[in-house]
Amino acid sequence: MTEPARKRRWPKFLAAFAVLMLIGAWWVDRQLEPVRLASTVLARLGEATGLELSFEGTPEYALRPEPRLLLENFDARVPGSATPLFRARRLEVSLPWATVWGGPIVITRIDLDGPTLDLDALNTWLASQPESSGELPVLSRGASVRDGTMLWGEWRIDGLVLDLDRFESGMPLTLELAGRGTSDTIELQLESTIAIEKLGQSTGAKVEAQGRIQFDGVDAPFVVTTDCNYHKLDNEALSCGDLFFRSESPLPTFKADIASIGRRGKSENIEIDADGWMRDWPQDWPALPAPMAGKPTHFDFAYAGPIDMTADWKVKLDWEDSHATAEFTLQNVLAWLDAGNAAPLPPLQATVTAPSIEIAGATLQGVKIIIEEDAPEEPAAEVEP
């Protein structure tokens, strides 16, 4: 008995379909062949950024839930430069299918293991670039960094961990950040959460941070909470209100009603201002005489100079009707504290005025005290025979 013609045709249809599937799989595999795909994507990114982008070894890729590229020893540098401004031990990039097929470059997520960023080199490169439209890239599922390193002047940040949930202009951003920063004189352990209202040139943010700071024999924990506003057009400024800083002596515990840091244009100098209150005077600081002792201290301090804090700080302190102004270099005062108060007075210039002061059981009225740093000693003159 002869089978119906339709039933006899099924094996042919299945064979033809299998051939088409094999051809399709070959074509997809060719288009997504790891080296070809990585080279294509990096070439387009390099053309867009003006950087030389490279990797070592054979990249890997996965297709579910969307194309993902895994690159070993990724490197980004200014053309002709011997030193990369960014490198990563391992880079994983997730891309939508539209980007793979030649559409606009959109990145779903970036995961970095062991990255190193030279921030000074990055800033130099950014300064050489033409003015941009300010449009930010989109990371629809955010990014993560593990075991990162950042170099910035004399500062080095190791063990950097970063997680952000979404990165898109005009959208909220939550950033988790941790790491260990070191310079010639300071070591800082930090864990922080930054919740940004919307990503852009101007925004508000809530900051919570905690950690430990070590310098010149000081080893103290700290906690910081504040609400901030960030603004960047011609000048860059960060202004924070209700900034609470809690620590242990010799570091103070204080509340700043307003604290700001700014930079004009591309200047290497910064400006810092803060105005607030200390309820308690740190016990390791020089003791205050009565009636100032035991009273809350209002402070107003300002700094304008290089980012390494080598310029003078200007400070105003008030205890009701008693007032003090001072000008000092932070490094000199820290060295004085580390020396165990070898000198009776700190290295600064100051003026103190008070209606009265009690010293050694005596009460002084209408007090004005001026403290000046000793002038550098002149080298001894050589005596001629």
Tokens encoding 300: 């107003």
Strand partners for 363: 358
- Calculate mean pLDDT across residues 64-93: 86
Domain edges within the chain: 31-113+121-141
Strands 143-152 and 109-118, bridge-based pairing: parallel
- In order of 81, 163, 218, 330, 353, the CA distances from 287 in angstroms are 55, 44, 19, 19, 16
pLDDT above 70 coverage of the chain, percent:
79
How far apart CA 73 and CA 113 sit, in angstroms, is 10
In this prediction, residue 19 carries a pLDDT of 46
In this prediction, residue 103 carries a pLDDT of 65
- How many other C-beta atoms can be found within 10 angstroms of the C-beta atom of residue 18? 10
Beta carbons within 8 Å of 307's beta carbon, 6+ residues apart: 153, 268, 269, 270
CB 52 within 8 A of CB 79: yes
How far apart CA 118 and CA 153 sit, in angstroms, is 9
Give the type of residue at 46.
Answer: G
Strand partners for 56: 72
Could you read off the pLDDT of 298-339 as tens digits, one per residue? 999 999 998 777 899 999 999 999 999 999 888 787 777 666
In this prediction, residue 124 carries a pLDDT of 79
* pLDDT classification of 26: cutoffs 50, 70, 90: very low
Could you read off the pLDDT of 225-243 as tens digits, one per residue? 999 998 877 778 889 999 9
How far apart CA 87 and CA 153 sit, in angstroms, is 18
Residue 94, pLDDT above cutoff 70: yes
Could you read off the pLDDT of 131-153 as tens digits, one per residue? 655 566 788 889 999 999 999 88
* pLDDT classification of 99: cutoffs 50, 70, 90: low
Q: Is the dihedral of CA 147, 122, 138, 34 positive or negative?
A: negative
In this prediction, residue 136 carries a pLDDT of 66
- Calculate mean pLDDT across residues 95-108: 72
Which residue pairs from 273-280 have beta carbons closer than 8 angstroms and sit at least 24 positions apart in sequence?
273/301, 273/302, 273/303, 274/243, 274/299, 274/300, 274/301, 274/302, 275/299, 275/300, 276/243, 278/252, 278/253, 278/254, 279/253, 280/253
CB 310 within 8 A of CB 184: no
- Calculate mean pLDDT across residues 5-29: 49
Angle at the Cα of 184 from the Cα atoms of 273 and 225, rounded to 5 degrees: 40
- pTM, to two decimals: 0.75
CB 76 within 8 A of CB 109: no
In this prediction, residue 375 carries a pLDDT of 54
**Mean of per-residue pLDDT scores for the chain:** 81
Beta carbons within 8 Å of 321's beta carbon, 6+ residues apart: 354, 355
Give the type of residue at 41.
Answer: V
Residue 159, pLDDT above cutoff 80: yes
